[in-house]
Amino acid sequence: MHVHLSEARLLEKTREAAEYELLNPNQTKNRNAGLKLFVFEEGGQIKFPADGMERSYYLLNGRGSFSLEKTTGASRTVIDSDTAIWVPAMKAHRIINSGEGPFRLLLAHCMGDANGGRSGSVTLSQARITEMVGFISRSIWSPDTLRSLGASKTVGVDLETLTPRSTLGSHEHEEEILYMLRGRGYVLVESKRYTVRPGSMVYTGPHLRHSVHNTENDNFQYLVFEFLP
């Protein structure tokens, strides 16, 4: 499945923020994983409830704060562009645009086992880097780290880069969402070819062979979210 941000469904727009849906869980094989984009107005904020949903955020641009709601107050973490946040199930939290300019936040989510856990944040500069010919992967949240934080369905979040005219060969996962950040190219899923550009989302179902192709003389960069069924 493929969709571009310009085609995303606007779920809600208030004075605080606009919420766009790029992937509804009902559109996926396991009817669980989804992807949204939030655009916060200046000073805007949203409170997310304590429910059974695992949430993985990536701040595309902006400056703000993340607050984990507690009965005795809130612990606040400052977040800037290229900051990732992980929140397990049953943790109420609030995200605020407290900086200058736009605040765009990507959210990959799924229903998990509500066994508790702890939240965490990491900047892109802290991510572990793996390099191969024509390909660079930054592991934002590794499977081991996610398990230690309480994840039950989310198994990985990576920022991947293809150098000019390079290809990431055919491979498969349980379930995967790709969100394109930079460059142009295409994603081949089985026999279907999806042309992509910044703002494109591609969903690959469980164990569907797929490859990623950079067709330009510039780097091609995208976020990857992986889930268990």
What does pTM read for this prediction?
0.94
**CA gap 39, 224 in Å, rounded:** 20
Place of tokens 């293809």: 162
> Strand 135-141 relative to strand 210-214: parallel, antiparallel, unpaired?
unpaired
CA angle, corner 145, sides to 69 and 51, nearest 5?
A: 35
CATH 2.60.120.10 fits 126-227, yes or no: yes
Which pLDDT tens digit goes with each residue over 203-215? 998 999 999 999 9
- Report the top-level CATH class of 2-123: mainly beta
Q: Indicate if 126-227 has the same CATH topology as 2-123.
A: yes
Instruction: Give residue 114's Cα distance to chain centre.
Output: 20
Which pLDDT tens digit goes with each residue over 41-92? 999 999 999 999 999 999 999 999 999 887 555 568 899 999 999 999 999 9
For residue 209, CA distances in Å to 80, 99, 217 come to 35, 41, 26
Mean of pLDDT over the chain? 93
| Spans of all domains in the chain | 2-123, 126-227
